Each structure stands twice: as structure tokens, then as C-alpha cells.
């Protein structure tokens, strides 16, 4: 029994000592050849560290961990905004300095680019934008904010996680940012309304 426990501890220590590991998995193939590689463990947005550090301790660490999933391609279009609202809601239990840090992190998080898969039906694969949330945020600090879109993406094509398909700008409401303040046309680069 002791030998098994010692072996298990040794294996865990060895895994921890290996550090970060890069892994690839080929998910799409054409003619038996992979056309788009996915990489894991390469990078995560700096804002996740800012969320974790905003209030110290378990609450912000848990929020930072929870904030990873809404940035993934298959998550609903409003999940990122809902998470930013949750961070602001959680900030209310802290002093004003901590609240300010958490709100700043939530605002930055809301404007972080979301992951989207490419449209592999084209050769080469077309890079897609993420669709926009079509409801007003709960907290007014997030009014008019949208996720960033990579400048390399086709500006007229979007990945819709609800259908798992590519949609064109204007073909459905979520291909244009939700206008919460009635000021006009969104600025896709900054994420703010002009």
C-alpha cells in the first residue's frame, strides 16, 4: 500500500516538473492531410491573470478560472458578456480600490478576442469573426463594449456557435454589435461605438 502511494507521489512530482507541454491535435483533414493544426497550452489572454490578481484569494482565482470557457468558440454568444457582468457583480463585496481593479479587469475581459474556428470548406481556410451578443449588459460599465475581432479575419464572415456554421455579415442580427446607447455604427477595431 505504501509503495503504491509513494509511486503515485513520484509520478505526480515528475509531471509537475515537466512544466508546460505543447500538444497538437489535427482536427480537420482533406485528402488524408491535416489542414489546420490546433495548439494547446501556448497562450492565454493576460486579462485572466489580471482578474486573478484583482482581489487576491479564492474569489478572483475562481473567477479567472471560470473566465476561460466563455472565450472558447463553442460558447454561446453572450457568455463572455455574462462573465464580465459576473466579475463586476462580485466586486461589490470589496472596498472601492478592489472594486475598481475588478471592474477594469471586467471591461478589458469583455473586449478580449474570442476564439473562433476557421471555415475549412475553403482552401485555404478562411478566418472568421465571432458573433456579437444581442442583449444589453447587466452593468452599465459594459455598455457599448464588444469583443475584439482579429484584423486578419474576413470582416464579412462569422462563426455562429449556435449553428456551428459560417454566416455572413447582415444575414442575422448577431453579425452586427448590439447598440445599447443608440449612438450609431460600431467601431469594429476598438470595440466601442462611435
Domain ranges of the chain: 28-193
Task: Report the relative pairing of strands 129-130 and 157-160 from DSSP bridges.
Answer: parallel
- pTM for the model stands at 0.72
Task: Write out pLDDT tens, residues 33-79.
Answer: 555 554 444 567 889 999 999 997 789 999 999 999 999 999 999 99
pLDDT band at 29 (very low <50, low <70, confident <90, very high): low
pLDDT of residue 184: 42
Report the candidate in 115, 98, 116, 113 with the shortest Cα–Cα distance to residue 51.
Answer: 98
In angstroms, rounded to a whole number, what is the distance separating the alpha carbons of residues 163 and 137? Answer: 23
The pLDDT-based confidence of 13 (bands split at 50, 70, 90) is low
To the nearest 10 degrees (0 to 180), the angle between helices 57-66 and 46-55 is 160
Looking at residue 179, its pLDDT comes to: 74
Least confident of 8-12, 84-88, 183-187: 183-187
Stretch 79-108: mean pLDDT, rounded? Answer: 96
24-60: burial string, b at 16+ Cβ within 10 Å, e else: eeeeeeeeeeeeeeeeeeeeeeebbebbbebbeeebb
More confident site: 27 or 31:
31
Average pLDDT over every residue of 162-187? 78
Reduced to 3 states (helix: H, G, I; strand: E, B; else coil), residue 160 is strand
Of 118, 86, 123, the closest CA to residue 105 belongs to: 86
Residues 119 and 163: their CA atoms lie apart, in Å, by 13
Q: Which three cell numbers stand for residue 76?
A: 454561446
Amino acid at each position: 500500500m505504501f509503495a503504491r502511494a509513494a509511486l503515485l507521489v513520484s509520478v505526480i512530482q515528475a509531471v509537475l516538473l515537466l512544466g508546460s507541454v505543447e500538444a497538437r491535435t489535427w482536427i480537420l483533414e482533406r485528402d488524408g492531410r491535416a489542414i489546420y493544426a490546433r495548439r494547446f497550452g501556448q497562450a492565454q489572454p493576460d486579462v485572466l491573470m489580471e482578474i486573478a490578481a484583482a482581489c487576491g484569494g479564492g474569489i478572483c482565482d475562481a473567477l479567472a478560472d471560470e473566465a476561460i470557457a466563455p472565450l472558447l468558440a463553442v460558447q454561446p454568444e453572450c457568455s463572455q458578456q455574462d462573465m464580465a457582468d459576473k466579475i463586476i457583480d462580485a466586486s461589490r463585496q470589496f472596498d472601492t480600490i478592489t472594486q475598481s481593479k475588478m471592474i477594469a479587469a471586467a471591461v478589458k475581459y469583455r473586449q478580449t478576442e474570442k476564439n473562433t474556428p476557421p471555415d475549412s470548406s475553403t482552401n485555404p481556410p478562411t478566418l472568421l469573426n465571432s458573433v456579437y451578443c444581442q442583449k444589453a449588459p447587466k452593468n452599465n460599465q459594459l455598455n457599448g463594449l464588444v469583443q475584439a475581432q482579429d484584423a486578419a479575419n474576413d470582416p464579412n464572415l462569422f462563426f455562429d456557435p449556435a449553428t456551428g456554421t459560417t454566416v455572413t455579415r447582415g444575414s442575422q442580427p448577431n453579425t452586427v454589435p448590439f447598440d445599447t446607447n443608440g449612438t450609431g455604427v460600431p467601431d469594429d477595431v476598438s470595440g466601442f461605438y462611435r
